[in-house]
């Protein structure tokens, strides 16, 4: 697939490297492609945003969550129509609050661009782990939220390409469930503070299966 990134930062470069290794074509889209001299690109081509979007089947929103809606506005609804957008961003303010409290950036992007096929995913873990689940001691969970089922299947396949087994993927439901993924950011920071590293993930541990007639509450 042709994967175009909105953003050139740490997350964009890590995911681009992971998907390029799996055989996909990647391009990093920069807001200021003319001011890139000396800045890291992970060995990937860097273009302007419009060019990165035009060439891609799948887009990745790897901009800071506080800037994402502005970046999308510069690209425009026409260029975004019918694209799949993997939204990995979370908006955090300087004092560690969510910039979209009560709702989610994912929902707001979907509402602003109804023809964009938004799938929220990968926003609950650090870049190094996104592309290398084997760094962790055992299996862990990656969440997906989105209204478009074929788009979620596309994203699930791309997650598999990064090394995530199907058993690690948990589809939470529609894009409104992005709220939970984004709100997790504050617990992520708390856990990272306690462990002294961002290199961890959470696993959803289900109940031991029980026989019929037991209380499911």
Per-residue b or e along 63-96, where b marks 16 or more CB atoms closer than 10 Å to that residue's CB: bbbbebbebbeebeeeebeebbbbbbbbbbeeee
Q: Is 165 in the site for a second copy (CB under 8 A)?
A: no
Q: How far is the CB of 32 from a second copy (least distance, A)?
A: 25
Among 140, 160, 161, 163, binds a second copy (CB under 8 A): 140
Stretch that binds a second copy, among 15-23, 71-79, 158-166, 190-198 (CB under 8 A): 190-198
Cα 83 to Cα 45: distance, rounded to the nearest angstrom: 20
Q: What is the length of the chain?
A: 217
Q: Is 111 in the site for a second copy (CB under 8 A)?
A: no
Per-residue b or e along 179-202, where b marks 16 or more CB atoms closer than 10 Å to that residue's CB: bebbbbbeebeeeeeeeeeeebbe
Among 64, 79, 128, 160, binds a second copy (CB under 8 A): 128
Q: How far is the CB of 188 from a second copy (least distance, A)?
A: 7
Structure tokens at 215: 């209380």
Comparison of 116 and 127: residue with beta carbon closer to a second copy? 127
Stretch that binds a second copy, among 30-38, 54-62, 122-130, 154-162 (CB under 8 A): 122-130
């Amino acid at each position: 697939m042709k994967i175009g990134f909105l953003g050139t930062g740490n997350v964009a470069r890590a995911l681009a490297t992971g998907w390029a290794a799996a055989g996909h074509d990647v391009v990093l889209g920069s807001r200021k492609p003319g001011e890139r001299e000396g800045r890291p690109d992970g060995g990937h081509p860097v273009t302007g945003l419009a060019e990165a979007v035009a060439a891609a089947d799948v887009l990745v929103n790897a901009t800071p969550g506080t800037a994402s809606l502005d970046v999308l506005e510069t690209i425009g609804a026409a260029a975004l129509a019918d694209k799949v957008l993997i939204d990995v961003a979370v908006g955090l303010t300087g004092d560690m609050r969510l910039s979209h409290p009560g709702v989610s950036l994912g929902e707001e992007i979907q509402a602003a661009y109804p023809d964009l096929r938004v799938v929220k995913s990968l926003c609950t873990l650090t870049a190094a782990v996104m592309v290398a689940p084997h760094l962790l001691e055992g299996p862990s969970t990656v969440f997906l939220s989105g209204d478009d089922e074929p788009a979620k299947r596309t994203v699930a396949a791309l997650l598999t390409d990064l090394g995530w087994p199907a058993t690690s993927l948990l589809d939470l439901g529609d894009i409104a469930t992005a709220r939970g993924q984004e709100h997790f950011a504050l617990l992520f920071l708390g856990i990272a503070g306690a462990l002294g590293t961002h290199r961890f993930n959470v696993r959803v541990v289900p109940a031991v299966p029980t026989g019929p007639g037991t209380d499911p509450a």
